[in-house]
């Protein structure tokens, strides 16, 4: 018997209390109206309501047997052995069609209390299970994102290694790519440099970075390329050094801050004047995707 039939958010903040109150028969008129509207909107709740009622019906069977009040057994035997012609006392008669007076059994109060506790515990367990499910789902999504990032990095490394392995001037690039912890950022051209592309390589705890570019021109005197690191989506770009490209499309330089190698969410390369201060100013020519 399942009491947790929802994979969606709670249909009502007090829906467990409403179902419990209905099973116990102690809802106010306003709460009963709220429950009726809720059942009309979410008919699948009826299965949970039935489960609550079945739980309540089973509670008396779990209680310890209660001894009969003193003298009750003898009173019943005497009444059963009375003459058939004996008429009952007028006070014991009730008119035809009238409803019998409900009989309060000795275990009634204990049963109601136990039922309320059982249903409350079920509601608490359901809430904890839903919270655990949400936590596991978030962990799974985060792990899947990490796996996808690792797969993309591995593919970029293999592609770049196949491209430069036979070129003597790219020996340093090959050495970096062979390191298992090498980070590779694939860069795409933007703005006026849509035909340009590149790969930025770095190693954790190393201050050097390596750029392998395609169709990225060598800049004239007075201009430089500048690398910017974006730590988080809400962070401002951090200056991570400047360089000029080579005809071979391979250049290496030292970053000024260790945070530049702290696995940023995005890297950007801009074109700036040599005399410009180290703040984002020039147009972007290469950038990685977030």
Least confident of 6-10, 17-21, 245-249: 6-10
**pLDDT band at residue 62 under the 50/70/90 scheme:** low
- The predicted pLDDT at position 29 comes to 86
The pLDDT, as a whole number, for residue 111 is: 59
150 assigned to some structural domain: no
Residue 240: domain span: 168-287
Question: Which is nearest to 173 in space by CA: 267, 249, 259?
Answer: 249
| Residues 92 and 185 placed together within one structural domain of the fold | no
| Dist CA 173 CA 201 (whole Å) | 8
So what's the pLDDT on residue 84?
54
Reported in sequence order, the residue ranges of the chain that DSSP labels E, i.e. its strands, are: 183-189, 197-202, 208-214, 223-230, 238-243, 250-254, 266-273, 284-287
Residues 34, 105, single domain; the answer is yes
Task: Judge if 120 and 204 occupy the same domain.
Answer: no
pLDDT, tens digit (0-9, with 9 covering 90-100), for 70-128: 665 666 667 666 655 544 454 444 444 444 444 445 555 555 666 666 666 666 666 66
Domain-located, residue 124: yes
Domain count, the chain: 2
- Is residue 58, in this structure, part of any structural domain at all? yes
**Partners of 202 in beta bridges:** 183, 209
Do residue 175 and residue 236 come from a single domain?
A: yes
User: Based on the number of CB atoms within 10 Å of its own CB, is 212 exposed (0-12), middle (13-18) or buried (19 or more)?
Assistant: buried
Same domain, 115 and 222: no
Q: Tell me whether residue 55 is in a domain.
A: yes
Residue 24 confidence (pLDDT)? 78
Q: Is 179 within a domain?
A: yes
Compute the average pLDDT of residues 175-191: 83
Note whether 183 and 282 are same-domain residues: yes
- 118 and 226 in a single domain? The answer is no
Structure tokens at 189: 């051209």
């Amino acid at each position: 018997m399942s009491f947790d039939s929802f994979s969606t958010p709670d249909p009502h903040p007090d829906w467990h209390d409403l179902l419990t109150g209905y099973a116990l028969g102690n809802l106010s008129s306003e709460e009963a109206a709220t429950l009726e509207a809720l059942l009309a909107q979410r008919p699948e709740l009826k299965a949970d309501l039935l489960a609550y009622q079945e739980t309540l019906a089973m509670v008396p069977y779990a209680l310890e047997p209660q001894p009969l009040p003193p003298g009750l057994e003898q009173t019943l035997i005497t009444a059963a052995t009375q003459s058939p012609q004996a008429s009952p006392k007028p006070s014991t008669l009730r008119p035809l069609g009238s409803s019998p007076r409900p009989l309060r059994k000795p275990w009634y109060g204990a049963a109601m209390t136990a039922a309320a506790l059982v249903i409350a515990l079920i509601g608490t367990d359901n809430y904890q299970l839903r919270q655990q499910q949400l936590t596991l789902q978030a962990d799974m999504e985060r792990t899947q994102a990490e796996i996808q990032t690792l797969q993309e990095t591995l593919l970029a490394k293999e592609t770049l290694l196949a491209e430069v392995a036979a070129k003597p001037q790219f020996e340093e690039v090959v050495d970096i790519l062979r390191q298992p912890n090498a980070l590779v950022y694939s860069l795409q051209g933007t703005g006026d440099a849509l035909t340009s592309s590149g790969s930025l390589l770095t190693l954790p705890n190393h201050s050097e970075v390596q750029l392998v570019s395609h169709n990225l021109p060598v800049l004239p005197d007075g201009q430089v390329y500048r690398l910017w690191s974006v730590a988080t989506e809400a962070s401002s770009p951090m200056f991570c050094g400047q360089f000029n490209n080579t005809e071979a499309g391979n250049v290496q330089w030292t970053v000024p801050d260790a945070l530049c190698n702290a696995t940023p969410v995005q890297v950007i390369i801009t074109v700036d004047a040599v005399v410009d201060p180290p703040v984002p100013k020039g147009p972007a020519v290469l950038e990685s995707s977030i």
